[in-house]
């Protein structure tokens, strides 16, 4: 019910009470005053309207005094008050100037009505009005005008409110649509931004990858399987390491941690668990797991570039700065660790530290099994001082290794000296035996759930402090389901039996594994020999190979090889990712190469390397031939030939690729006898050119040169060595002559120039014949320089050419490939007139028209000294 209806009901109720009531006039009077008060109050919000309404109320009071029809007067006044109150209630719903305008129009209309009424309220008119009841209709007419004025104003304001509401709804809808669009656009922008960041990061990382010699096999989560600690074991040790990781506030907090332990004490499993724990907290900045089995993981010069590469993934700031460093010094990846640490680690990390991104958290680099990396001391003597001097604040390094002078001389500290610059030491083999054996017990109970506690205790006692013993025992027992009980009994019996010679437990276990795999009672002598050859090959190849390659190298059926690997799965396994065979632990390699430890299972390196060298030469003799991949035309680049990758894979299979890459490696490892020389001569005479073709197709010409250099270090006879030198010169010409990727040009553009000098090319008489006039020499290659050359000098070993230029620079070149070695040496302000190498090839001295003599590091270009003129 509206306010107006309520007021009408009030009037009606009041009038009903008035009939028969002697105080009727007083009640009408009080009611009228109430309605007039309502009418006045309804206009308080607008001064102009208030004045006009005041005039209306004055007129109503005069009319009320003069009229006889008090009830009608009261009813009409109540009705007018209700309209005024309704209108007043709309004021709060609109504050615009348009609403105010409608109220002002109402005020003007009310004033106009008041003026009209005032003119009629003179004496004669009033006399006429009040004396004739019929004139009550005229009074009603004025009430109607007042009400009409209020109704018109109300209607206009309602229209305005409706228009505003509609507009607000439209605006709200538009805002909602715009908000939705903004949200969609924001999401799109975020996605695009993320994509741009990913693309930018990808581009940066692609550029970094192309310039760094990083190892793709070294991180903890790639390459051969790396197993973490069993749940519930090594908890105390891992907690202690994590305390070191999280200690960044202590003044004695060290940035380095070295875990040293004897073979088999569980260093690598702890390192793997640490990597997983650090990943969970986003604190693993990089990892490098050294491995004797994988060439790129045992070569020291891969460590710093690989860490830098992973740090670029971990931090965009690091990656962006690293890219700038690589742009400025494109040869840094080829330099020694002392230079690499400064430019690939320290300099980019300074940029990261300035951002304050990691706050109180310290990312960690994990480097495992330092002892399995060749010449690792070169890395340590560069990186350890940087750690000690806190040149990479906020970046921590965790190392593991066996004891050994090449590692301990850099990392071991005096336990009595407390210095935050030192690398924290932890000797794993010194952990109390009962603590280690408790962890071993947990491991064995987890893996051997059907074994009694008494039997577990026997195995624990046999393990001593060696986790590798327990792990290998588990692999051996569970290796063949149908023999588990028998193998368990054998191991328990061996553990309880006497050991008068104090043979190492691992030797006993490895011998037991061989005995189980190559049982004298179940294998013939030939089968035993085959099994040992397969095992010896696994540990003797230059790099891990597949079962198929092993079968081709040894001439065995692949099923035989796979069966032998399976029987030895306690110590070796086939990796599912690349199908290559790996050993589980370095201690097995130590065992099998030691005649004292392995006895009848011993692998004589010299003997087995001869076997592998002959196998490589035999495979190349059988499978190398002219036009290996049936290239259809000499007018096409190799990459333009349809299906070239498939052709290469089919025609240069794994065993042939291995033989092409590593025949000289095995040659260098064995004693060269007459049989090897005979096979090598046949290879040189008949297959050498096809080997070069295969290396062309595999895009390995630089490796081709390295292999020839390696072969020339052996005593192969003057005739063979002369041919190899000529071949090396020819391959060098190929590398410098810009014909890589154009394999047919080897025969069409290179061989004709060497046919007179290299007798093995007699078979190619149908090729173009090159006639030489007088004493001419072949140009092996030509290189452009940014300025004219004033002087040059060749290093004592002939591998580097130094050139002094007119613009004051000195440039060095690889004489094999023609590639510039590093950046130009810059320091002279005028033309360089003389350059020379020191006798050891380590320094270059230069003289210039700027009246100075300068001495440079031949490898890095850094100035050694600047004597006066």
What CATH code is carried by the domain that includes residue 535? 1.10.10.10
CA dist 531 and 535 (Å) reads 6
CA dist 827 and 810 (Å) reads 9
Would 210 be classed as within a structural domain? Answer: no
- The tally of domains found in the chain comes to 6
Selection from 132-146, 491-505, 834-848 with the highest mean pLDDT: 834-848
Min mean pLDDT across 100-109, 560-569, 643-652 is at 100-109
* The token pair that represents 741 in the structure block: 């990727």
Q: Is the pLDDT of residue 67 over 80?
A: no
CA dist 224 and 218 (Å) reads 9
Strands 256-260 and 423-427 turn out to be: parallel
Q: Is the pLDDT of residue 73 over 50?
A: yes
Selection from 68-72, 451-455, 557-561, 742-746 with the highest mean pLDDT: 557-561
CATH classification at residue 795: 2.40.10.480
Residues whose CB is less than 8 angstroms from the CB of residue 629 and which lie 6 or more positions away in sequence, other chains included: 641, 644, 647, 648, 651, 652, 697, 743
Residues 120 and 61 in one domain: yes
Per-residue pLDDT reduced to its tens digit, 134-152? 455 666 676 777 667 667 7
Q: Dihedral sign for Cα 445, 447, 450, 454, please.
A: negative
Would 469 be classed as within a structural domain? Answer: yes
pLDDT at 65: 63
pLDDT band at residue 154 using 50, 70 and 90 as cut-offs:
low
pLDDT at 820: 79
CA dist 275 and 238 (Å) reads 11
pLDDT band at residue 130 using 50, 70 and 90 as cut-offs:
very low
* The token pair that represents 773 in the structure block: 């006039």
pLDDT at 576: 85
pLDDT band at residue 650 using 50, 70 and 90 as cut-offs:
very high
Residues 562 and 546 in one domain: yes
Distances 143 to 4, 125, 136, 153, 675 between C-alpha atoms, Å = 15, 17, 11, 16, 136
- Quote the distance between the C-alpha of residue 493 and its chain's center: 50
Answer yes or no: are the C-beta atoms of 222 and 292 closer than 8 Å. Answer: no
Mean pLDDT of 527-549: 94
Mean pLDDT of 562-577: 88
For a pLDDT cut of 90, what percent of the chain falls above it?
A: 29
Higher pLDDT, 837 or 768: 837
Higher pLDDT, 658 or 415: 658
Higher pLDDT, 4 or 840: 840
Domain end residue (candidates: 559, 585, 603): 603
Selection from 432-446, 547-561, 676-690 with the highest mean pLDDT: 547-561
* The token pair that represents 560 in the structure block: 């035989």
Q: Is the pLDDT of residue 502 over 50?
A: no
Q: Is the pLDDT of residue 64 over 70?
A: no
Domain end residue (candidates: 730, 764, 798): 764
Q: Is the pLDDT of residue 42 over 70?
A: no
Answer yes or no: are the C-beta atoms of 294 and 786 closer than 8 Å. Answer: no
Q: Is the pLDDT of residue 112 over 50?
A: yes
Burial of residue 291, with CB atoms counted within 10 A of its CB: 0-12 exposed, 13-18 middle, 19 or more buried: buried
Residues 840 and 712 in one domain: no
pLDDT band at residue 75 using 50, 70 and 90 as cut-offs:
low
pLDDT at 20: 41
Selection from 1-5, 162-166, 425-429 with the highest mean pLDDT: 425-429
Answer yes or no: are the C-beta atoms of 511 and 601 closer than 8 Å. Answer: yes
Q: Is the pLDDT of residue 128 over 60?
A: no
Distances 707 to 294, 657, 675, 680, 754 between C-alpha atoms, Å = 18, 13, 21, 14, 20
Per-residue pLDDT reduced to its tens digit, 309-347? 999 889 888 988 888 888 888 778 778 898 899 999 999
pLDDT at 549: 96
Residues 620 and 687 in one domain: yes
Would 200 be classed as within a structural domain? Answer: no
Answer yes or no: are the C-beta atoms of 244 and 424 closer than 8 Å. Answer: yes
Mean pLDDT of 198-207: 55
pLDDT at 270: 96
Residues 705 and 796 in one domain: no
pLDDT at 86: 63
Per-residue pLDDT reduced to its tens digit, 769-782? 555 544 444 555 56
- In this structure, how many other beta carbons lie within 10 angstroms of the beta carbon of residue 653? 15
For a pLDDT cut of 70, what percent of the chain falls above it?
A: 72
Residues 456 and 312 in one domain: no
pLDDT at 634: 82
Residues 527 and 462 in one domain: no
Q: Is the pLDDT of residue 178 over 90?
A: no
pLDDT at 58: 64
Provide the residue range defining the domain that includes 373: 235-431
pLDDT at 288: 96
pLDDT band at residue 740 using 50, 70 and 90 as cut-offs:
confident
* The token pair that represents 722 in the structure block: 């002369």
Mean pLDDT score across all residues of the chain = 80
CATH classification at residue 265: 3.40.50.300
* The token pair that represents 719 in the structure block: 């005739």
Higher pLDDT, 113 or 560: 560
Nearest residue to 540 via CA among 609, 594, 492: 609
CA dist 684 and 681 (Å) reads 5
Mean pLDDT of 181-196: 69
* The token pair that represents 100 in the structure block: 């105010």
pLDDT at 618: 95
Would 688 be classed as within a structural domain? Answer: yes
Tell me the HSE value of 365 on the side-chain side, using a 13 A CA sphere: 28
Residues 16 and 157 in one domain: yes
Residues whose CB is less than 8 angstroms from the CB of residue 640 and which lie 6 or more positions away in sequence, other chains included: none
Residues 273 and 391 in one domain: yes
Per-residue pLDDT reduced to its tens digit, 591-625? 999 998 889 999 999 999 999 999 999 999 999 99
Would 773 be classed as within a structural domain? Answer: no
pLDDT band at residue 94 using 50, 70 and 90 as cut-offs:
low
pLDDT band at residue 537 using 50, 70 and 90 as cut-offs:
very high
CA dist 78 and 30 (Å) reads 12
Would 477 be classed as within a structural domain? Answer: yes
Selection from 108-117, 474-483, 635-644 with the highest mean pLDDT: 635-644
DSSP per-residue string spanning 353-385: HHHTTTTT---EEEEE-GGGSBTTHHHHHHHHH
Beta-bridged to residue 538, according to DSSP, are none
Between the CA atoms of 618, 622, 624 and 626, what dihedral angle is there, to the nearest 10 degrees? 140
* The token pair that represents 455 in the structure block: 């039997």
Answer yes or no: are the C-beta atoms of 625 and 661 closer than 8 Å. Answer: no
Mean pLDDT of 484-493: 80
Would 186 be classed as within a structural domain? Answer: no
Domain end residue (candidates: 153, 173, 193): 173
CA dist 491 and 510 (Å) reads 11
Residues 127 and 52 in one domain: yes
Q: Is the pLDDT of residue 482 over 50?
A: yes
Would 223 be classed as within a structural domain? Answer: no
CA dist 664 and 101 (Å) reads 104
Higher pLDDT, 9 or 110: 110
Residues 443 and 553 in one domain: no
Min mean pLDDT across 175-179, 508-512, 580-584, 736-740 is at 736-740
Residues 348 and 288 in one domain: yes
- In this structure, how many other beta carbons lie within 10 angstroms of the beta carbon of residue 127? 11
Distances 380 to 375, 387, 865 between C-alpha atoms, Å = 9, 10, 27
Distances 193 to 198, 201, 203, 206, 356 between C-alpha atoms, Å = 8, 12, 15, 19, 23
Answer yes or no: are the C-beta atoms of 866 and 849 closer than 8 Å. Answer: no
Mean pLDDT of 186-196: 65
Q: Is the pLDDT of residue 36 over 80?
A: no
Nearest residue to 845 via CA among 860, 858, 827, 830: 858
């Amino acid at each position: 019910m509206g306010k107006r209806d309520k007021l009408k009901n009030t009037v009606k109720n009041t009038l009903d009470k008035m009939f028969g009531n002697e105080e009727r006039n007083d009640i009408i009077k009080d009611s009228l005053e109430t309605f007039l008060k309502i009418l006045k109050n309804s206009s308080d919000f607008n001064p102009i309207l208030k004045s006009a309404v005041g005039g209306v109320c004055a007129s109503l009071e005069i009319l009320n005094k003069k009229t006889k029809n008090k009830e009608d007067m009261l009813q009409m006044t109540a009705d007018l008050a209700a309209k005024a109150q309704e209108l007043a209630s709309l004021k709060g719903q609109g504050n615009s100037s348009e609403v105010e305008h409608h109220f002002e129009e109402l005020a003007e209309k009310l004033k106009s009505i008041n003026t009209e009424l005032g003119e009629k309220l003179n004496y004669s008119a009033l006399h006429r009005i009040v004396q004739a009841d019929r004139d009550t209709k005229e009074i009603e007419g004025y009430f109607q005008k007042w009400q009409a004025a209020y109704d018109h104003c109300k209607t206009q304001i309602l229209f305005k409110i409706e228009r505003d509401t509609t507009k607000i709804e439209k605006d709200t809808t538009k805002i909602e649509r715009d908000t939705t669009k903004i949200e969609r656009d924001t999401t799109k922008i975020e996605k695009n931004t993320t994509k741009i960041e990913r693309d930018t990061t990808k581009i940066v990382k692609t550029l970094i990858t192309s310039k760094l010699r990083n190892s793709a096999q070294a991180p903890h989560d790639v390459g051969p399987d790396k197993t973490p600690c069993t749940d519930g074991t090594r908890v105390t040790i891992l907690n202690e390491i994590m305390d070191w990781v999280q200690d960044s506030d202590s003044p004695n907090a060290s940035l380095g941690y070295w875990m040293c332990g004897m073979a088999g004490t569980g260093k690598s499993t702890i390192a793997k668990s640490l990597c997983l724990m650090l990943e969970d907290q986003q604190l693993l900045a990089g990892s490098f797991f050294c491995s004797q089995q994988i060439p790129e993981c045992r070569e020291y010069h891969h460590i710093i570039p690989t860490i830098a590469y992973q740090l670029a993934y971990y931090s965009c700031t690091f990656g962006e700065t690293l890219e700038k460093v690589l742009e400025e010094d494109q040869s840094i990846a080829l330099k020694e660790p002392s230079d690499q640490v400064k430019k690939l680690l320290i300099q980019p990390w300074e940029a990261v530290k300035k951002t304050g991104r990691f706050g109180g958290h310290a990312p960690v680099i994990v480097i495992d099994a330092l002892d399995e990396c060749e010449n690792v001391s070169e890395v340590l003597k560069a990186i350890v001082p940087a750690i000690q001097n806190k040149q990479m604040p906020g970046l921590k390094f965790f190392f593991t290794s066996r004891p050994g002078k090449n590692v301990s001389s850099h990392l071991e500290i005096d336990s009595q000296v407390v210095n935050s610059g030192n690398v924290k030491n932890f000797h794993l083999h010194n952990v109390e035996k009962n603590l280690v054996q408790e962890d071993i017990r947990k491991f064995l109970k987890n893996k051997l759930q059907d074994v009694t506690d008494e039997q577990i205790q026997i195995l624990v006692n046999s393990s001593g402090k060696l986790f590798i013993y327990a792990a290998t025992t588990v692999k051996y027992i569970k290796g063949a389901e149908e023999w588990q009980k028998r193998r368990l009994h054998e191991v328990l019996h061996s553990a309880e039996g006497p050991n008068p010679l104090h043979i190492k437990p691992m030797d006993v276990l490895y011998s037991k594994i061989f005995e189980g795999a190559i049982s004298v009672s179940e294998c013939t002598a030939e089968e035993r020999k085959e099994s040992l050859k397969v095992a010896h090959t696994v540990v003797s190849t230059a790099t891990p190979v597949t079962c198929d390659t092993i079968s081709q190298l040894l001439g065995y059926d692949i099923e035989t090889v796979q069966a032998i690997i399976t029987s030895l799965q306690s110590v070796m396994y086939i990796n599912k990712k690349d199908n290559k065979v790996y050993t589980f632990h370095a201690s097995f390699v130590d065992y099998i190469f030691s005649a004292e430890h392995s006895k009848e299972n011993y692998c004589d390196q010299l003997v087995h390397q001869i076997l592998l060298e002959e196998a490589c030469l035999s495979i190349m003799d059988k499978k190398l031939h002219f036009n290996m991949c049936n290239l259809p035309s000499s007018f096409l680049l190799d990459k333009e030939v349809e299906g070239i990758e498939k052709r290469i894979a089919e025609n240069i299979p794994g065993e042939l690729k291995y033989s092409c890459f590593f025949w000289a490696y095995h040659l260098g490892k064995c004693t060269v006898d007459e049989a090897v020389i005979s096979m090598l001569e046949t290879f040189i005479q008949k297959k050498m050119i096809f080997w070069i073709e295969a290396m062309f197709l595999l895009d390995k010409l630089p490796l081709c040169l390295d292999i020839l250099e390696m072969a020339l270090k052996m005593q192969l006879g003057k005739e063979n060595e002369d041919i190899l030198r000529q071949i090396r010169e020819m391959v060098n010409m190929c590398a410098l002559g810009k014909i890589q990727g154009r394999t047919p040009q080897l025969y069409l553009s290179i061989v004709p120039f060497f046919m007179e000098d290299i007798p093995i090319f007699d078979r190619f008489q149908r090729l173009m014949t090159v006639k030489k006039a007088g004493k001419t020499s072949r140009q092996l290659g030509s290189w452009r320089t940014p300025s004219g050359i004033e002087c040059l000098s060749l290093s004592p070993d002939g591998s580097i050419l130094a050139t002094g230029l007119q613009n004051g620079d000195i440039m060095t070149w690889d004489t094999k490939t023609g590639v510039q070695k590093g950046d130009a040496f810059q320091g002279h302000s005028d033309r360089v007139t003389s350059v020379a190498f020191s006798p050891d090839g380590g320094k270059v001295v230069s003289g210039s028209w700027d009246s100075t003599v300068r001495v440079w590091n031949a490898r890095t270009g850094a100035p050694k000294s600047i004597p006066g003129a």
